Amino acid sequence: MVIRKSFKIAVKALKTNKLRTGLAMLGMTIGVAAVLTMFALGTGAQQSVSKDVKSAGTTLINVRAGNFTRGGEESKIASGLGSATTLIADDAEAIRSQVQGVGYVSPLTRMRGWVAYGSDKTYTQVYGVGVDYAEMYDWNFEKGKFFKKGAVDDAENVVVIGATLRDNLFADANPIGEEIEIHGEKFKVKGVFSTSDEEQSQMAIIPYTKLQKMLGINYLSNIMVSAEEAGKASDVAKDIVPLLRSRHRLESAPKSSTSAGLGLGGLQGAAMSGTPDDFTVKTQASEALTKGLNTSVAAFILANMPQMDQVNMQEMSGTLNRAGQTMTALLAAIATISLIVGGIGIMNIMLVSVTERTREIGIRRAVGARSYDVLMQFLVEAITLGLAGGILGIILGFLASFTITRTLQWDATVSSTAVALAFGIAAATGVFFGFYPARRASKLNPIDALRFE
């Protein structure tokens, strides 16, 4: 009851001098907006750092149809078919649903051929993929967007092209909605992506179901898999091997294995007895480390891949933690400065208000108001100032984050936690900086207050 009356008095008093009230709220508005914007920028920065670190951490796994290791017999490594047609889309779905730690999965079929637009044409790679493929490589779309699941299910004639291929075919023209010719069929351009990989930048990407129809096949050349966490790729690759062996009805893996279950680059470690795999599983790291090496040396490196992944994961975890700590310290410093400025503004306006209303306080005390009533009146007034400024600051923070996202292409995400924290800080600042003026008002002697001119 007392708080409700105090709130009504506070609103009436603040309306009396609107300019002064507005200036006092402005400091709090700017402070809260700065806090919210910094939290949004911090969240975006941490997500960006996490994405970059994970990308550097080689989360990709390539499951390739067929299995052949040059010189495998000398190193007692089993080799199966040099090529195979046993890898199918259902294998990709099985990996997605049955292997733990999998982030994205995409079937893959490919060909090389002519891609033409009008009289301009270029010979390049055409990849048929699933909807997760762009997410795996974190492509940025300069124009348009990647095709949807429905386009894959219906084997639609849609295509996304790399920036280099766009330049070769369209020069400065906008290709979105235009039709290009691939393998004698017309495809509508849905998007243009940019990537640091020059080879990918020259590709044309279509639904894998459509490329299968064009080639008259029902199998895949590859399945691309992305682990959820950096450093877990070897564990995911290890679990893929027995799943595919079971699905392909291969005999149990031989008892002797030097790199058991890793399934890396045909170096599954199978001894010379038993049925070898009809597929090859390689992590991105294993491909990079063993490229051009002697088979026996490569086998030794692959046998130690889990330990290397663990070291990488620890290093990347440390990098993320340090980045998070730095960002937290920056946010805390900016938040403290901004809110102190806003709080001082509230304290200043409340001290002036107490001085101007000394006679009013004396009258209230004379007619029976308690010291507590006066304290609550001015404290509620300070809290109202803080909350009003906080609400405006939250709105301004949302607008600033949206503007930054649109103009700078920086993912400034405002979370509900940040909004609640900003609102709570505004109220707490009002209480902290309003308590001294309120207490000073409550301690005024009624007789002296009535004599005040």
Arithmetic mean of pLDDT, 103-117: 95
Question: Residue 293 falls within a domain, yes or no?
Answer: no
Helices (H) and strands (E) in the chain, counts: 16, 10
Indicate whether 64 and 48 sit together in one domain: no
Residue bearing tokens 């026996």: 296
Percent of the chain at pLDDT exceeding 90: 27
pLDDT at 263 over 60: no
SS3 content of the chain, % helix, strand, coil (to 5): 55, 15, 25
- Phi-psi category of residue 6: left, alpha or beta, with phi > 0 → left and psi -120 to 50 → alpha: alpha
Query: Does 373 reside within a domain?
Result: yes
85 and 193 share one domain: yes
Judge if 20 and 94 occupy the same domain: no
Query: pLDDT at residue 427 above 60?
Result: yes
Scanning the structure block, which residue is given the tokens 């031989």? 254
**Is the same domain home to 70 and 205?**
yes
The verdict on 323 and 435 lying in the same domain is yes
Residue 429, helix vs strand vs coil: helix
Q: Domain check: are 48 and 84 in the same one?
A: no
Residue 277 lies in a domain: no
Pick from 119-128, 134-143, 241-250 the range whose average pLDDT is largest.
119-128
Q: Does 145 lie in the same domain as 40?
A: no
Q: Which of 202, 227, 252 is the last residue of a domain?
A: 227
The answer to whether position 34 is within a domain reads yes
Count: domains in the chain:
2
Residue 177 is predicted with a pLDDT of: 94
User: Nearest-5° angle of CA 307, CA 309, CA 312?
Assistant: 115
- From 174, 207, 227, give the residue that closes a domain: 227
Q: Are residues 25 and 116 in the same domain?
A: no
Q: How far apart are CA 350 and CA 383, in angstroms?
A: 11
Label residue 82 by pLDDT band (50, 70, 90): low
Of 193, 227, 261, which one is at a domain's C-terminal end? Answer: 227
Q: What is the pLDDT of residues 235-245, one digit of tens each?
A: 898 899 999 99
pLDDT in tens, 213-222: 999 999 999 9
Q: Which residues constitute the domain of residue 429? A: 1-53+313-451
Residue at 251 is within a domain: no
Determine the Cα–Cα distance for residues 440 and 355; give it in Å rounded to an integer. Answer: 10
Distance CA 235, CA 267 (A): 15
Q: Are residues 194 and 179 in the same domain?
A: yes
Tell me if 306 is assigned to some domain. Answer: no
82 shares a domain with 33:
no
Are 67 and 214 within one domain?
Answer: yes
Q: Over the chain, what is the mean pLDDT? A: 77
Q: Determine, yes or no, domain membership for 401.
A: yes
Average pLDDT over residues 252-279: 51
Q: Is 342 in the same domain as 447?
A: yes
